[in-house]
Amino acid sequence: MRQENIRNIAIIAHVDHGKTTLVDQMLKATDAFRENQQVQERVLDSNDQERERGITILAKNISIEYQGVKINVIDTPGHADFGGEVERVLRMADGALLLVDAAEGPMPQTRFVLRHAIDAHLAIMIVVNKIDREGARPEEVVNDSLDLMMDLGATDEQLEFAMEHVVYASAVNGFARLAPDDGNMDMYPLLDMIVDALPAPDVDVDGPLAMQCVTIDHSEYVGRIGIGRIYSGTIHDGDKILVVKNDGSRAMSQVKQLFTFDYLGRKEATEVAAGDIAAVVGVDSTDIGDVYTDPDNPVELEPIEIDPPTLSVIFEPSTSPLVGREGDIVGGRQLKERLMQERENNVTMRIEELPDKTGIEVAGRGILHLSVLMETMRREGFEFQVGRPRVLFKKDENGAMTEPVEQAVVECPGEYSGKVIEVFGNAGGTMSSMETGTTQTHLEFKIPTRGIMGLKNRILNVTHGEAVFYHTFLEYGPYAGEIGVRQNGAMISMSTDKAVAYALGTLQERGQLFVGPGDECYEGMLVGERSKPGDMVVNIARTKSLGNQRSSTADIAVQLTPPRTFTLEEALEYIMDDELVEVTPKSIRMRKRILSETERRKWAVRTGKVKK
């Protein structure tokens, strides 16, 4: 039986193609806000980092009311690192809006999220966004999207549905059209098509209760809140329910509070029927994939499998000489407690303490996935250090070593394409396709995840900043052997002191600096990159020697190039195996694991890195 008064839709797209802005306009068109209400742009990007980075990190549920139909909208992340969210939340939807930029067309992460939507057998509607952008080619983009759906194995029904249901929109300007130039200036054609064309949930309202938890929310007051779609039956406040875990274990529980989604918030409910999305309070330590069902007549649902992590880093308490100057929380015990709390709330990461208790290993889907956690913790006042991200290898059925392989796409002016291909070749990549346009060349590569680290900077350097670079996890492939690492050596401070302009003036001739005059440095800290291989220990506090004939201010006006600054992701990609990134609320510093030069030399002799 279809619940005709409900539609469950997911919005899927590549990063920055306008998902969250489109949801803003749908909310405005359905009078979600009071007339005089001040509303920020991208209202669903509620997390500070989402607003700063301009990306969606957490999937979010809202609902809007249109023509008597409740439309549950799921805003999904577009970045492959947050794919764990996408896979699960698509289970709540019956249809999806595939949002594609009218100029760029389908991009690598469009492929990633679209594959999951096709596998979930969703009806897919194409929305071509930014049709008023310079260089827009809406009709071509529709054909490219259909071609991509065919490549990903869409069924004939899915392809026919997508061909017949296309909307052209400009989310920024708040209009949707059935033809690119029909002149309509509101969002109603899109809302009409959602209500008229996308399928209503096909459920059994009178059957036994079956609900699967696909997202976990956490409250300090009530603990974990399980969010998911009800596939059959009705759940009531106060019901006794049977909870079936992914591993088959069972336990009884009671619904203490029940919520449905209402515009941007949640509304307490006494009952929620099949087809709708509910939030349930009262199931202790509920987990992704838990099935809430009728104890007398239990229903079995497919367990949820989450793609495995591909990268891991080790979090350790900071051992920097400057520890405690910028952060309030520096102890190993607090670091462990915070990460174990994250394990409770974030099922897409694998978090385990090392056997020797020296640190905590955190495994995730990519550097961005891991750096979002680090950024959150530094904002909470933590100081800690992390090592170089390590790729998680696996063995196939024959016992051969396999490693994660990514699909990388580069768009750059044609004259730089040769240099880009060379950079990928040195990093273990192989080119899978090349399309030459009038101004831009589109290159696609397969490359081991190990080779991706630090690649973005090299590509931007050889293309003079004109390349657009994306990558997404593709599969586990054969081990690609040794891959070239950072070619240039580092400049390492020999003392704990403030950097002096005079010293930096002579050092900048040897390479690129990471610090400026007055910056606090310590022995073993990376203060720059040499223009040659091999590390060099430098004195950043050297001052001009003065005779009694000269004034201290004469001849010391130094012209310094601004130092190179690193984001957290860039620093993680830059460091080598014997280096660490020190993360504090105000600074990101790179350092050697062993700070003393003498101790480093002894270690190099012991491990055979250099001869005696």
CA distance 228 to 102: 33
498 is in an annotated binding site: no
Q: Of all residues in the chain, what percent are helix, strand and coil, respectively (each to 5)? A: 25, 30, 45
> What residue has token string 């020999």?
494
DSSP per-residue letters across 201-254: PB-BTTS--EEEEEEEEEETTTEEEEEEEEEESEEETT-EEEEE-TTS-EEEEE
Query: What does the DSSP 8-state code read for residue 526?
Result: E
Identify which of 58, 38, 62 has the alpha carbon closest to the alpha carbon of residue 50: 58
Radius of gyration over every alpha carbon of the chain, rounded to an integer in angstroms: 27
Percent share of the chain, pLDDT over 70: 88
The pLDDT value recorded for residue 345 is 67
| Other beta carbons less than 10 A from residue 30's beta carbon | 18
∠ CA 11-13-15, rounded to 5°: 125
**Which tokens in the block code for residue 194?**
């959602």
Residue type, 316: E
Q: What percent of the chain has pLDDT over 90?
A: 20
Angle between helices 417-426 and 455-462 (to 10 degrees): 150
Please tell me whether 129 is known to bind a ligand: yes
pLDDT at residue 501 greater than cutoff 80: yes
pLDDT higher than threshold 60 for residue 79? no
16 is in an annotated binding site: yes
Q: For the ranges 17-26, 51-60, 172-181, 453-462, which has the lowest average pLDDT? A: 51-60
The answer to whether 64 is annotated as binding is: no
pLDDT averaged over every residue in the chain:
83
Residue 451 sits at φ, ψ, to 5 deg, of: -75, -20
- Tell me, what's the pLDDT at 567? 87
pLDDT digits (tens, 9 = 90+) for 357-411: 889 999 987 787 788 889 889 888 899 999 999 888 888 888 888 888 888 888 8
Inform me whether the pLDDT recorded for 119 exceeds 70.
yes
Task: Tell me the Ramachandran region of residue 101: left when phi exceeds 0, alpha when psi lies from -120 to 50, beta otherwise.
Answer: beta
Q: Which residue has the higher pLDDT, 388 or 115?
A: 388
Report the alpha-carbon angle 438-439-441, nearest 5. 95
Say whether 18 counts as a known binding-site residue: yes
Average pLDDT over residues 420-426: 90
pLDDT band of residue 419 (cuts 50, 70, 90) is very high
* pLDDT above 70 (res 160): yes
**Whole-number pLDDT of residue 40:** 41
**∠ at Cα 554 (549, 558), nearest 5°?**
145
- Mean pLDDT, to the nearest integer, of 433-442? 82
Q: Which pLDDT belongs to residue 362?
A: 92
Give, to the nearest 10 degrees, the angle between helix 138-151 and helix 108-119. 50
Is the separation of the CB atoms in 528 and 505 below 8 Å?
no
Average pLDDT over residues 277-281: 87
Chain segment 538-557, per-residue pLDDT in tens: 999 888 776 655 555 555 56
Joined together, the tokens standing for residue 356 give: 């020797």
Q: Is the pLDDT of residue 65 over 50?
A: yes
Q: What is the dihedral of CA 146, 147, 153, 158, to 10 degrees?
A: 10
3-state secondary structure of 81: helix
Name the band, by pLDDT with cuts 50, 70 and 90, for residue 525.
very high
Q: How far is C-alpha 368 from the chain's CA centre?
A: 5
Record the pTM. 0.71
User: Among candidates 499, 500, 501, 498, which has minimal Cα distance to 557?
Assistant: 501
Identify the top-confidence range among 211-225, 305-319, 579-593.
Answer: 579-593
130 has binding-site annotation: yes
- Pairing of β 390-391 and β 311-317: antiparallel
pLDDT for position 57: 40
Q: What are the φ/ψ torsions at residue 335 (nearest 5 degrees)? A: -60, -45
Pick from 216-220, 241-245, 379-383, 579-583: least confident: 216-220
Residue 192 is labelled as binding a ligand: no
d(CA 500, CA 507) in angstroms, rounded, equals 11
Q: What is the arithmetic mean of pLDDT over 53-57?
A: 43
The mean pLDDT value for 192-219 works out to 86
Instruction: State residue 451's pLDDT score.
Output: 85
pLDDT at position 306: 67
pLDDT for the residue numbered 549:
58
- For residue 280, pLDDT beyond 80: yes
Q: What is the pLDDT of residues 229-272, one digit of tens each?
A: 899 888 888 888 888 887 778 888 888 888 888 876 778 888 88
CB-facing half-sphere around the CA of 529: CA atoms within 13 A: 14
Cα(330)–Cα(323) distance, rounded to whole angstroms? Answer: 7
pLDDT-derived band at 32 (thresholds 50, 70, 90) equals low
Q: Which one, of 10, 9, 112, lies nearest residue 471 by Cα?
A: 112
64 CB neighbour count, 10 Å cutoff: 24
Backbone phi, psi, residue 591, to 5°: -150, 165
Check residue 274 and give left, alpha or beta (phi > 0: left; psi -120 to 50: alpha): beta
How buried is residue 379: exposed, middle or buried, by Cβ count under 10 Å (0-12/13-18/19+)?
exposed
- Give the span between the Cα atoms of 604 and 596, in whole angstroms: 12
Is the pLDDT confidence value at 182 over 70? yes
Check whether 35 has a pLDDT greater than 60: no
Residue 429 has pLDDT above 60, yes or no: yes
Question: Is position 612 annotated in a ligand binding site?
Answer: no
